[in-house]
Chains A and B, each alone.
Chain A
Amino acid sequence: DGGITQSPKYLFRKEGQNVTLSCEQNLNHDAMYWYRQDPGQGLRLIYYSQIVNDFQKGDIAEGYSVSREKKESFPLTVTSAQKNPTAFYLCASSIYATEAFFGQGTRLTVV
């Protein structure tokens, strides 16, 4: 089955700790995106990548980092610089500007 896999489903972070969220797709899509979703708010773009080894900051990139070493993978690291990381994180992919597909999300909680 083709799709986007996010892991883990739930993640807990201690103060001052970096954590990495995984996003893998087998759809052969060039473009991949990371969004953050908070209650009552729309999706906000963190980072996006349109091609391997290239990525761009979105609207709320501070405190986050990404890499795109393989077409299939676009991991997101939430660093200790992100002061309010508790949120639902969504990864998406698409072929250029066509239909976007989403993973099932990772819920990150600070403990």
Chain B
Amino acid sequence: KQEVTQIPAALSVPEGENLVLNCSFTDSAIYNLQWFRQDPGKGLTSLLLIQSSQREQTSGRLNASLDKSSGRSTLYIAASQPGDSATYLCAVRPHSGGSYIPTFGRGTSLIVHP
């Protein structure tokens, strides 16, 4: 069964720092990996989707990389801002089984203080 781990569980940094959030998964046979942001009491907002054939995706100050063979993805946030404070989750879709149901990590809670 696929297991997804996110490290660190929590992170507090001063504004302006460049950040790296980690996501690891146990089964490398994945279809795609998606990064989400969740604000307190809200739903999940999709940030980036990386297909299994891709190495990275970029959107503004966000860059996500994927190393399928080692079972890792990283989300890089450049020049962090207080508005980036949220929980960041990754989800992995399996490549087999027919259902393609995503498995989620528990998230990294990020606080960026002014």
Interface residues of A (CB under 8 A from B): 4, 6, 33, 35, 40-43, 45, 48, 50, 56, 58, 88, 90, 92, 96-105, 107
Contact = CB atoms under 8 A, between A and B. Distances in A.
A104 B43 CA distance: 4
B45 A100 contact: no
Interface stretch (B61-69, B71-79, B101-109): B101-109
21 contacts: A4-B43, A6-B43, A33-B101, A35-B104, A42-B89, A42-B107, A43-B89, A50-B99, A56-B99, A58-B101, A96-B100, A97-B31, A97-B93, A98-B49, A99-B34, A99-B46, A100-B91, A102-B46, A103-B43, A105-B41, A107-B41
Contact of B101 (A48, A98, A99, A102): A48
Nearest to A4: B43
Interface in B50-87: none
Contacts of B43: 4, 6, 90, 102-105
A102 B99 contact: no
Interface of B is mostly: strand
A101 B102 CA distance: 12
Which of A4, A33, A97 is most buried by chain B, counting CB atoms within 10 A of its CB?
Answer: A97
Interface of A is mostly: strand
Nearest to A88: B41
B44 interface: yes
Nearest to A56: B99
Contact of A43 (B32, B99, B104): B104
Nearest to B105: A42
Contact of A99 (B49, B99, B100): B49
A35 B101 CA distance: 11
Contacts of B46: 99-102
B16 to A, nearest CB: 29
Nearest to A91: B43
A104 to B, nearest CB: 4
